[in-house]
Chains A and B, each alone.
Chain A
């Protein structure tokens, strides 16, 4: 692992922005893990007397309509939002990469089916598809994850297919096949690990979109079930209060959302530089 670390140190020094992204990512991880412990108040506990108070020493981010502490809710929400993002990205990766690699490797019918499926989903207006799924299956967290995963599926399938296609006749694949490995072993054991770097870059980029998607669903009322704390819902709730002057209810969850998406996008760029210099686009 040493060369990769040294290599990573080189990229970080050359590119401070990626350093910033890793710092942010670490911060979000800590918030996700220790959120409930660190939160100064119980995020679910309403308190009519303290409703709609601006940011103050007692409540850093102020309080919402039911008097709940927004700072605690933003902190605790990190876990839910990251889980939604990670779960949907991993699910999309599994669905997309496996079918993509199979399509790229076997070609012929598999390729055509996966290709057409990806096209159909791409042709579908993303947001309506997500809404349809969540409206049909109910607004459980798992459904939001499935909806977001299906939307990102074509992205992974397409990239995986292209990479697998390129590597299908590569030397190491030929060697693996000649040394008696079955088709699936070649696919999973050799081609898939080889395209992992590119996949990881895709995953980090779509992490950002996954969170935005969950937030968008909440804005039109199909998001996570109340009273759970989730950035999207909090921004949606706060939206009605911007006009009447309580700007902080929507602002802080919005900022957290922005920072997270921002961090994942920069992370994607950074990962790409570290893993695959050729791909310095």
Chain B
């Protein structure tokens, strides 16, 4: 599913991305024809139930897929080059410098037996952000940028000595040390309490705005996405079912799955009793007889045409939907 590019310059444009995993019990077609783009300074949310392929998309773009995973088709245009076609060395050059990523549980995502200051310094030295002997000072500078109090002492600490929020700030420092053009945040706040969640999201927003960085925000929390992201891409079982500006999607969701998703998200406007759960579950992606629309088994609005290959219909300004019988 390829999104039609808008007027501004896209930082990253993913087209027709498909990924398979070879496992003990057969081949799993995790992603199929995924396409979307992110402009400079824009924040796009990748939303979907867990297991819908959000993280795999990010890993594929970053080139850090698990050994069993294989990109079978597609391109990821970034800075004029196709990331998927780059050799490991060239891609490694870009990672951490032009594009970087932060992960879910911060404490385990940092090296447990290495001082946090040194971990930031490692990235700086690797990408020429600083020379070996003034890297420690630059690292402390980075800690100031992510608003960590008393940075000189904190730099000497080990991850297990810091709180979850603090570790997440370190991760952000590591990711943004070389001022990348794109940041992918894979559920950065899921493990944190609500207040820290807000602080971290604001911090990412501020830093992105400062350097016009494009941000991809992967989450299963629609409310969070609505509040902090310009545009939302909804994924279901390896497909992009709908992509639209945040307000447009919340106001007028066109794909049945998006509507169900919204109905299942608690928020001020929706009372607890009226929360409806989405019937059925994600299909088993190892099946050989998967229907073109992987939501059809769970869709109340299924019609005969749903058996035909999915369309990509533009139903508004940068609003696309992959459904024969949209709302």
Query: Interface residues, chain A, CB within 8 Å of chain B?
Result: 7, 10-11, 277
Closest B residue to A7 by beta carbon equals B24
* A11 CA / B24 CA spacing, docked (Å): 8
Complex contacts, B25 vs chain A, CB 8 Å: 7
Complex contacts, A7 vs chain B, CB 8 Å: 24-25
* A111 CA / B25 CA spacing, docked (Å): 40
* A10 CA / B24 CA spacing, docked (Å): 7
* A277 CA / B24 CA spacing, docked (Å): 10
| Distance in Å: Cβ of B196 to nearest Cβ of chain A | 31
The 5 A-B pairs of least Cβ separation, nearest first, read A10-B24, A7-B24, A277-B24, A7-B25, A11-B24
Complex contacts, A10 vs chain B, CB 8 Å: 24
* A110 CA / B24 CA spacing, docked (Å): 40
| Distance in Å: Cβ of B62 to nearest Cβ of chain A | 25
Query: Interface residues, chain B, CB within 8 Å of chain A?
Result: 24-25
| Distance in Å: Cβ of B225 to nearest Cβ of chain A | 34
Q: Can you report 5 A-B residue pairs in the complex whose CB atoms are below 8 A from each other?
A: A7-B24, A7-B25, A10-B24, A11-B24, A277-B24
Complex contacts, A277 vs chain B, CB 8 Å: 24
| Distance in Å: Cβ of B147 to nearest Cβ of chain A | 40
Q: Is the interface of B mostly helix, strand, loop or mixed?
A: loop
| Distance in Å: Cβ of B25 to nearest Cβ of chain A | 8
Complex contacts, B24 vs chain A, CB 8 Å: 7, 10-11, 277
| Distance in Å: Cβ of A123 to nearest Cβ of chain B | 30
| Distance in Å: Cβ of B181 to nearest Cβ of chain A | 38
* A11 CA / B25 CA spacing, docked (Å): 11
* A61 CA / B150 CA spacing, docked (Å): 77
| Distance in Å: Cβ of A18 to nearest Cβ of chain B | 14
Closest B residue to A14 by beta carbon equals B24
| Distance in Å: Cβ of A3 to nearest Cβ of chain B | 8
* A199 CA / B220 CA spacing, docked (Å): 41
| Distance in Å: Cβ of A69 to nearest Cβ of chain B | 47
Closest B residue to A10 by beta carbon equals B24
| Distance in Å: Cβ of A15 to nearest Cβ of chain B | 12
* A10 CA / B22 CA spacing, docked (Å): 11
* A209 CA / B25 CA spacing, docked (Å): 35
Closest B residue to A277 by beta carbon equals B24
* A185 CA / B299 CA spacing, docked (Å): 48
| Distance in Å: Cβ of B22 to nearest Cβ of chain A | 10
| Distance in Å: Cβ of B284 to nearest Cβ of chain A | 15
Closest A residue to B24 by beta carbon equals A10
Closest B residue to A11 by beta carbon equals B24
Complex contacts, A11 vs chain B, CB 8 Å: 24
* A102 CA / B313 CA spacing, docked (Å): 65
Closest B residue to A3 by beta carbon equals B25
| Distance in Å: Cβ of A90 to nearest Cβ of chain B | 30
* A277 CA / B25 CA spacing, docked (Å): 12
* A7 CA / B25 CA spacing, docked (Å): 8
| Distance in Å: Cβ of B63 to nearest Cβ of chain A | 24
* A113 CA / B132 CA spacing, docked (Å): 55
* A7 CA / B24 CA spacing, docked (Å): 7
* A240 CA / B247 CA spacing, docked (Å): 90
* A275 CA / B25 CA spacing, docked (Å): 14
* A78 CA / B227 CA spacing, docked (Å): 73
| Distance in Å: Cβ of A273 to nearest Cβ of chain B | 10
* A134 CA / B145 CA spacing, docked (Å): 72
* A10 CA / B25 CA spacing, docked (Å): 9
| Distance in Å: Cβ of B49 to nearest Cβ of chain A | 24
| Distance in Å: Cβ of B254 to nearest Cβ of chain A | 42
| Distance in Å: Cβ of A7 to nearest Cβ of chain B | 6
* A241 CA / B179 CA spacing, docked (Å): 74
* A133 CA / B178 CA spacing, docked (Å): 67
* A10 CA / B27 CA spacing, docked (Å): 13
* A277 CA / B23 CA spacing, docked (Å): 11
| Distance in Å: Cβ of B159 to nearest Cβ of chain A | 24
| Distance in Å: Cβ of A84 to nearest Cβ of chain B | 36
* A7 CA / B23 CA spacing, docked (Å): 11
* A174 CA / B24 CA spacing, docked (Å): 31
